[in-house]
A and B are shown apart, each in its own frame.
Chain A
């Protein structure tokens, strides 16, 4: 019974349930998170089992949700707040950037801000505007925040466990179009986590450690969240053409596990970074700059990026062309290999 096959949404639900059971200070807050269980049902059944005092339906005011979560954290609680959709986070952006991120430093370390902000993000579900965005770089740019995104069910479960245990605020981006993808979750053990703890790393270390999703030797694809699946498909397609692609699941956009990217690039000599967010000043831009510094003599080609364009997220009928898909990733792979 230890290993279950769960969709990502359910894995997060189970993880929240575990946290609520283990720590009476953990709270769930957000719009429609109670009876409805959230618009994606990620918090389904939690209010019924843990009560309205711990699973809290809030007024429809994102700044108020994050601002009161900060106050609750000051009182010793560990709030996990839900922002209903990526494009709705901006009313809370001031509280996140100006208050949540800086409070620990302003108090010279004397107070902590263990707040998790869950944000379903990304496109591909045919939604109306403001429901398909990928604003992770806007948060990764802010010192004091940690920014992560799981790509599969096991990571979703365990990364949420670690995010809630983190004494730093964590922006937890959930790949909404993968919510229903199933994967195996062992709620009793996660070998990578055990190894990490044995090596004396902090209890949130795994959260920020990239994982090799597929080994390869000719080129490294770096992705996170919803794009990991696309990159794995691209690697499978490339294999049929005799190309061996390594896929690195970044997991964390702040901090970024540059050591893992470096190790892979030193092996393959080529790097393509893939994300839904616009490429301009995005996660890929930072990786390209750092890896160029670290691996200049190993690179056989410039680091290439595949992602969104510098335009508002398009209407749903166009999003399949806007979002990086198999062909756009393989196009970049071909261009890199052609150097």
Chain B
């Protein structure tokens, strides 16, 4: 699951000292359009190194061509899956879809930094992270089709259910991480959230709890610039990564469209969590290229120019440029990947269209683990009512 780095470990910062970058900042608000980013791959696909990024770069210094192709493949397939889901919504097969278009590097880079025994707490848009964790992408579509409200076993892939009320899962991640620490395990936990969720009280409380208990949790904020129609300026006066400083743990802003930088920074943060150095905040600076969901219309609140400018920083194009310029991938790799993408799209389409509606009695299933007298009574009443119709299906029959 992980892209292994053979880099030597670097000395760690104090868990309470905050990052040098964060600490050196002056009070003057930084315009979020001019972020100071950890970047290892420019939008043109050039590897860059600097003294400031050396600590993170060490985690991907020895990355192989095969691993780079793997990251590229993950991003391409995730984007293809996402496009198929959007199309399925347009065709009426899904009720809603929350596209990750543009955020592939943030999700694949961070997802591939996790180990099997780490635990992931996603929002509802982490389709790329789910891919990295080995969750079958068609499992993600049940809730968007309306056949369940989650449905996968979180413990199969250490990938928790999607959480729709924003920010709530950061507390679950923190509690889980407190449990990891109690167990004496060296796993880490990663909590995803967005720029909009950063305003939620639960996110602030998760920062407090994780800091006080030194919990091994990484907070991964995808700042995609827009919380439906509200720009990041409506959520914060300081760059989001700087919030960590006030809680006593480091915060880093990474180029969220640079899969290499995201991989490196996330590995750094997960490793220090495993080493008992507590939480860290990563702000992946990225862009939601599509709508918030298929119900949204971004033309009402943002300009095409902005999207066009961000398209020039596309996460997939820049890695492709790098792979090509370094000779890390040939034409057959790209064409085979095209075929694989189409096959994935076709499979997703077929699985979704064949996905049956749940049995009517599923309404009552799993409301409680130990049973509940009222649920039993209402289930029996409902079954009798349904059976009272002349054309009622037999018990257990799927309608």
Contacts and interface: CB of A to CB of B under 8 A. Distances in A.
A200 interface: no
Interface stretch (A67-75, A211-219, A233-241, A331-339): A67-75
B161 A95 contact: no
Given A64-B209, A75-B183, A257-B373, A109 B366 contact: yes
B149 A106 contact: yes
A263 B67 CA distance: 70
Given A64-B205, A75-B176, A107-B150, A95 B171 contact: yes
A106 B152 CA distance: 9
Interface stretch (A96-104, A182-190, A270-278): A96-104
A59 B201 CA distance: 14
**Tier of interface size on chain B:** 35 or more
Max count, chain A CB within 10 A of own CB: residue among B172, B202, B372, B375: B172
B369 A75 contact: no
B134 interface: no
B372 A71 contact: no
Interface in A119-163: 143-144, 146
Contacts of B150: 106-108
Nearest to B160: A74
Interface in B320-345: none
Contact of B175 (A74, A91, A110): A74
B35 interface: no
Interface string A73-116: 11111000000000000010011001100111111111111000
Contact of B205 (A59, A73, A99): A59
Contacts of B375: 143, 255
A230 interface: no
A255 B182 CA distance: 34
Given A109-B365, A258-B373, A74 B176 contact: yes
B276 to A, nearest CB: 15
Contacts of A102: 149
A71 B171 contact: yes
Given A68-B209, A102-B149, A94 B165 contact: yes
Contacts of A108: 148, 150-151, 153, 365-366
Interface in B130-149: 148-149
Contact of B366 (A68, A71, A74, A104): A104
Max count, chain A CB within 10 A of own CB: residue among B171, B175, B182, B367: B175
B367 A208 contact: no
A198 interface: no
B165 A146 contact: no
A257 B372 CA distance: 10
B179 A70 contact: no
Given A71-B172, A98-B168, A77 B179 contact: yes
B370 A167 contact: yes
A111 B265 CA distance: 32
Contacts of B171: 63-64, 66-68, 70-71, 95
Contacts of A208: 373
B206 interface: yes
B175 A70 contact: yes
Contacts of A95: 168, 171, 202
A58 B208 CA distance: 10
B351 interface: no
B168 A99 contact: yes
A146 B172 contact: no
Contact of B168 (A75, A94, A166): A94
Contacts of B372: 146, 168, 254-255
A291 interface: no
A285 interface: no
Given A74-B175, A257-B373, A105 B155 contact: no
Contacts of B100: none
Contacts of B390: none
Given A67-B206, A68-B171, A71-B174, A168 B368 contact: yes
B178 interface: yes
Contacts of A67: 168, 170-172, 174-175, 202, 205-206
A251 B247 CA distance: 43
Interface residues of A, number: 50
A61 interface: yes
Interface in B344-375: 365-375
A13 interface: no
B172 A74 contact: yes
Interface in A240-293: 254-258
B372 to A, nearest CB: 5
Contacts of B308: none
A61 B210 CA distance: 13
B154 interface: yes
Given A104-B366, A107-B154, A72 B178 contact: yes
Contacts of B373: 208, 255-258
A76 to B, nearest CB: 7
A61 B173 contact: no
Given A72-B179, A75-B175, A107-B150, A144 B367 contact: yes
A329 to B, nearest CB: 27
Contact of B374 (A77, A202, A256): A256
Nearest to A209: B373
A72 B373 CA distance: 28
A170 to B, nearest CB: 10
B369 A167 contact: yes
Contact of B367 (A74, A107, A143, A257): A143
Contacts of B212: 59
A167 B371 CA distance: 10
A204 interface: yes
Nearest to A144: B367
Given A94-B168, A107-B154, A168 B369 contact: yes
Contacts of B177: 71
A140 B155 CA distance: 29
Contacts of B160: 74
B154 to A, nearest CB: 6
Interface in A50-66: 53, 58-59, 61, 63-64, 66
Contacts of B154: 74, 107, 110-111
Contacts of A71: 171-179
Nearest to B148: A108
Contacts of B94: none
11 contacts: A59-B205, A61-B209, A64-B205, A67-B170, A71-B174, A71-B177, A73-B175, A77-B182, A91-B201, A108-B365, A144-B368
